[in-house]
Amino acid sequence: MTDFTPNEMMTIAAARELSNDDVCFVGIGAPSAACNVARLTHAPEITLIYESGTVGTKPDVLPLSIGDGELCDTALFTVSVPEMFRYWLQGGRITTGFLGGAQIDKFANLNTTVVGPYDHPKVRLPGGGGAPEIASNCGRIFITMTLTKRGFVEKLPFVTSMGHGEGGNHRERLGLTTKGPTRVITDLCILEPDPETKELTVVSIHPGVSRDRIAENCGWPIKFAESVIETPAPTETELSVLRDINTRTRKAHEGAGTGKEAA
């Protein structure tokens, strides 16, 4: 078996969730890497949309921001930000939203706003950006995050975007008709909400990872589904596509100058 890192396994497992039929609203960072690996391997016809207004974009290097020029240069078309959020996202044209987050709870609610009380935060995080409406308006949501005790917490200090709320049929009770988070892809395993309770449950474990290690890295007593499969290891092709795009990206982002000439 080829050697791979947990992070590579996470990106590749996340990429496999996507298909040619997806119209995908892409979050920056880990989701962006996964979406582009999908596009460059098994899903060449996937439509990738970034909230900066670029639709059908095919970047050669991963963008550092959601609005890098690369995204606009390679897009089918580019719309204004109000049009993006009103017609395309709220209009219900997006099948899949792909999000990351700083913290997640067992019902896949996300926090990217604050740690500690809102008015006197211990840590002020960037905030929600597009996430609150991505989470409610996309057909379904995939989330990708590394599994750590700090990130996977029993109770969120702040709900930036809703997953399954308090669990059960909470989304329906709020009038939502979209599915919400259906898969959470981590560096150790893949989780799915239980069909009834909506509590995140391990359904697939990455090669070489033990159940104990998963339990130790999760901030709540994590449950395992009745039948758990082993995630297929990354293929040579998947790994080489991911490593190539990461190499191109590093080169491109570092190559723009030392910053010393900054005004």
| Residues noted as catalytic | 51
Kindly give, in sequence order, each residue whose CB lies less than 8 Å from that of residue 235, ignoring residues fewer than 6 positions away: none
The number of beta carbons lying within 10 Å of the beta carbon of residue 226 is 6
Provide the mask over 86-105, with x wherever binding to another protein is found by CB under 8 A and - wherever it is not.
x--xx---------------
163 with 194: CB under 8 angstroms?
no
Closer by beta carbon to another protein, 106 or else 171: 171
212-231: contacts with another protein (CB under 8 A): none
- Measured from the Cβ of residue 160, the count of other Cβ atoms closer than 10 Å reads 23
In 67-199, DSSP assigns E strands to: 77-78, 96-99, 103-104, 110-111, 114-115, 123-124, 140-144, 181-185, 189-193
Choose which of 59, 97, 165, 193 interacts with another protein (CB under 8 A): 165
Rg of the chain in Å (alpha carbons)? 18
Binding of another protein at residue 177 (CB under 8 A)?
Answer: no
**Local structure of 70: helix, strand or coil:** helix
Question: Does residue number 128 form part of the binding site for another protein (CB under 8 A)?
Answer: yes
- Pick from 5, 80, 240, 247: which binds another protein (CB under 8 A)? 80
Kindly tell me which residue out of 8, 17, 22, 51 binds another protein, with binding defined by CB under 8 A. 51
Nearest-angstrom CA–CA distance, 192 and 65: 29
Residue closer to another protein, measured from CB, 119 or 196: 119
Give 212 or 261: the residue with its C-beta nearer to another protein. Answer: 261
Which residues of the shown chain bind another protein in the complex (CB under 8 A)? 28-29, 51-54, 63-69, 71-72, 78, 80-82, 84-86, 89-90, 109, 113, 118-119, 121-133, 136-137, 158-162, 165, 170-171, 174-176, 252-259, 261-263
